[in-house]
Amino acid sequence: MDKRIKKSKRAIEEALISLMAENDFKDITIHSIAEKADVNRGTIYLHYEDKFDLLEQCIEGKIQKLLNFCLPEGSGSQPSKSSLLRIFHYLEEHSFIFHTLLTNKGVPTFRKKIVTVMKAGMKEQLELNGVNQHINKEILIQFLPSATISVIEWWIIESMP
């Protein structure tokens, strides 16, 4: 992708997150984002529909990056032992971003997105490894992600041990 696009999007999304750390999402204007990102206001509309689409893409990107980093294809869906650990390391490394996305008022989207992704991931895991066959898979899939995300949420918000 063109260097300029990468830089612009990075600046814009970083600005969004930094603003979200201090204001409710609803109070953030495209104007202020452009200012913070040191980018022409028009540039934002070049890549995003509006601020909701921006938040959407931003969240999507963060989740993708987390997954790509923590579940590298090479090892072919590793067992959860080491990958879970990697996830926690990654979250620690980028705690500011995830803390902001999780705690900002008026943005439940992020939590939902993660739960959805985890459901899919776990389903795949369970079908691959025939473990826990004596437990109802469906129930596990419904239950585990929410539980896990709650733990993660707690861990991040309490600024992790």
What residue type is assigned to position 51 of the chain?
A: K
Triad 141, 138, 134: Cα angle to 5°: 105
Q: Pick the binder of DNA from 18, 25, 47, 103 (CB under 7 A).
A: 47
Q: In angstroms, what is the minimal distance from the CB of 10 to its own copies?
A: 10
Q: What is the secondary structure of 4-67 as a DSSP string?
A: HHHHHHHHHHHHHHHHHTTS-GGG--HHHHHHHHT--HHHHHHH-SSHHHHHHHHHHHHHHHHH
Partner that binds at residue 15, options DNA, its own copies, none, CB closer than 5 to 8 Å by kind: none
- Is position 16 an interface residue for its own copies (rule: CB under 8 A)? no
- Is position 40 an interface residue for DNA (rule: CB under 7 A)? yes
Return d(Cα 126, Cα 137) in angstroms, integer. 8
Count other Cβ atoms within 10 Å, centred on residue 70.
Answer: 18
- Is position 4 an interface residue for DNA (rule: CB under 7 A)? yes
- Is position 37 an interface residue for its own copies (rule: CB under 8 A)? no
For the chain, the straight-line distance linking the first and the last C-alpha, in angstroms and rounded, comes to: 38
Q: Which is nearer to its own copies, 7 or 89 (CB)?
A: 7
Considering only 16-24, 36-44, 46-54, 100-108, which stretch makes contact with its own copies by CB under 8 A? 36-44
- H/E stretch holding 3: helix 3-20
Partner that binds at residue 8, options DNA, its own copies, none, CB closer than 5 to 8 Å by kind: DNA
- Is position 39 an interface residue for its own copies (rule: CB under 8 A)? yes
Partner that binds at residue 86, options its own copies, DNA, none, CB closer than 5 to 8 Å by kind: none
Chain residues binding its own copies by CB under 8 A are 3, 7, 38-40
